[in-house]
A and B are shown apart, each in its own frame.
Chain A
Amino acid sequence: AQSVTQLDSQVPVFEEAPVELRCNYSSSVSVYLFWYVQYPNQGLQLLLKYLSGSTLVESINGFEAEFNKSQTSFHLRKPSVHISDTAEYFCARPRGQAGTALIFGKGTTLSVSS
């Protein structure tokens, strides 16, 4: 069965430090991958996505993720975090070919403190 595994449930960091949130996926012929962010008391927002082409994808607020086929990973990184990045982050992929659902990882809570 297809799966997504987020390796860290909580990641505490200080402001302006770099951060990496790890995500591994089960291998498949074609893979679409997403990172969603959920700020406190809000719904999910798409942060970035990998569909094809360049393996490095970026978001508008400084996050980036690299699709690594050999390691079946899609880790999310930011070189310098802000307090406002405090949120829960979910890695996700479509289920099978039909795209009728997303399979989510269990989430990583990023806590940024000063």
Chain B
Amino acid sequence: EAQVTQNPRYLITVTGKKLTVTCSQNMNHEYMSWYRQDPGLGLRQIYYSMNVEVTDKGDVPEGYKVSRKEKRNFPLILESPSPNQTSLYFCASTSTERALGYEQYFGPGTRLTVT
């Protein structure tokens, strides 16, 4: 089954404690992204990757890091989380085939609370 998986699904942590949210896709997609969803703001892109070792900033990259060492995995790293990073996070992957219009396949989300 084609899917994007994220772990953990729920996480409560304290300010400054480094954490990693994992994302994996089994569709051999080149493009992967991280978004955060906040009430009244919709989804905003944090980082994206066009292929292994190729990453770039999205709209709200401050306080986050990513890496793309393997095609299927795209972890999101918060080296020193702060309360304003409390949010719902989505990983997504994208087909490059033009006919599919670059729609994105979303993971189930990770709800992060930073106290």
Contacts and interface: CB of A to CB of B under 8 A. Distances in A.
Interface of A: 6, 9, 32, 34, 36, 42-46, 49, 51, 90, 94-95, 98-102, 104-107
Contacts of B108: 42-43
Interface stretch (B17-25, B41-49, B62-70, B72-80): B41-49
Contacts of A107: 40, 42
A82 to B, nearest CB: 23
Interface size on B, as a range, is: 20 to 34
Contacts, number: 63
Nearest to A95: B45
Contacts of A104: 35, 42-44
Contacts of A43: 90, 106-109
20 contacts: A9-B40, A43-B106, A43-B108, A44-B90, A44-B106, A46-B103, A49-B103, A51-B99, A51-B100, A51-B101, A95-B45, A98-B50, A99-B101, A99-B102, A100-B31, A100-B56, A105-B42, A106-B41, A107-B40, A107-B42
